[in-house]
Copies of this chain bind each other. A is one copy, B any other.
Amino acid sequence: MEPEFAGNVIPLHREPTCRRTLAVHVSPGQALFWEGDEARQLFRIEAGVVRSVNFSSEGERQVTGFFFPGDVIGVPLGGRCRYTAEAVTEVRYSTQGVECWTEELRCTQNLDDTLFGTVRSELEASYTRSLLLGRQGALARMCSFLADVCARLGHGDETVLPMPQTDIAAYLALTPETVCRSFRKLKDIGAVRIEKHDCIRVVDPGRIMGLASH
């Protein structure tokens, strides 16, 4: 696209030519992009929680990942979005054109940071869930999940889960009933506290991690 670099050379360390869109807002339930869309931009989550959702051919819904502030999603692997990204909470995000990103890739010195720093969110997501669902036992899955979320949010010792139990169920391939009952067990042990029916606080991550190993 740049006329001054004809044919076979490209600049190194050039300033990015396109800029980042700041402060876009979406409300809970709304989508940032849809499965099958052409992937034209990267989405960087600035605030809030996003879930990735996939529908099987039969209309069966799966939540395949959760994304938090700092995560970058929408990487064009194969040119298309592989899932629908929905806001779980109120969300603020910024976007960046893919051309801009690939250009950055070319210009950067340290590919490892630029490339995998941004792509990592999505990759870790399927990787993590794949391992999670490999565990058998509802409680073990729950605890692995909770440990992971606490680690990623990193709000010190106590963490309030930012997503509803139905989403957790869809993510762990369990029913809402089973998720609820598992939370009850954890409450009885004293690993979590359930305040206001909707707001679950993890108070003993250590205990959780112990149960995760089963």
Chain A positions within 8 Å of B, measured between CB atoms, are 5, 7-14, 54, 56-58, 60, 62, 64, 76-79, 82, 102, 105-106, 111-112, 115-116, 119-120, 123, 126-127, 129-131, 133-136, 173, 213-214
Given the complex of chains A and B, what is the CA–CA distance between A111 and B106 in angstroms? 9
Contacts of A56 in B (CB 8 A): 131, 135, 213
- Write the chain B residue with the least CB distance to A78: B116
Q: Told that A76-B112, A102-B111, A136-B173 touch, could you supply 4 new A-B pairs with CB distance under 8 A?
A: A79-B112, A115-B115, A123-B123, A133-B173
Given the complex of chains A and B, what is the CA–CA distance between A135 and B54 in angstroms? 12
Q: What are the 3 A-B residue pairs with the smallest beta carbon separation, nearest first?
A: A133-B133, A126-B126, A62-B134
Given the complex of chains A and B, what is the CA–CA distance between A173 and B129 in angstroms? 13
CB of B54 within 8 A of CB of A131, answer yes
Q: Knowing A116-B78, A123-B77, A130-B133 are in contact, say whether A9-B8 is a contact too (CB < 8 A).
A: no
Given the complex of chains A and B, what is the CA–CA distance between A136 and B170 in angstroms? 11
Contacts of A112 in B (CB 8 A): 76, 79
CB of A58 within 8 A of CB of B10, answer no
- Write the chain B residue with the least CB distance to A101: B111
Given the complex of chains A and B, what is the CA–CA distance between A99 and B82 in angstroms? 29
Contacts of A123 in B (CB 8 A): 77, 123, 126
- Write the chain B residue with the least CB distance to A102: B111
Q: With both chains docked as a complex, state the minimum distance between the C-beta of A103 and any C-beta of chain B, in angstroms.
A: 9
Contacts of A7 in B (CB 8 A): 12
Given the complex of chains A and B, what is the CA–CA distance between A76 and B112 in angstroms? 8
CB of A11 within 8 A of CB of B14, answer no
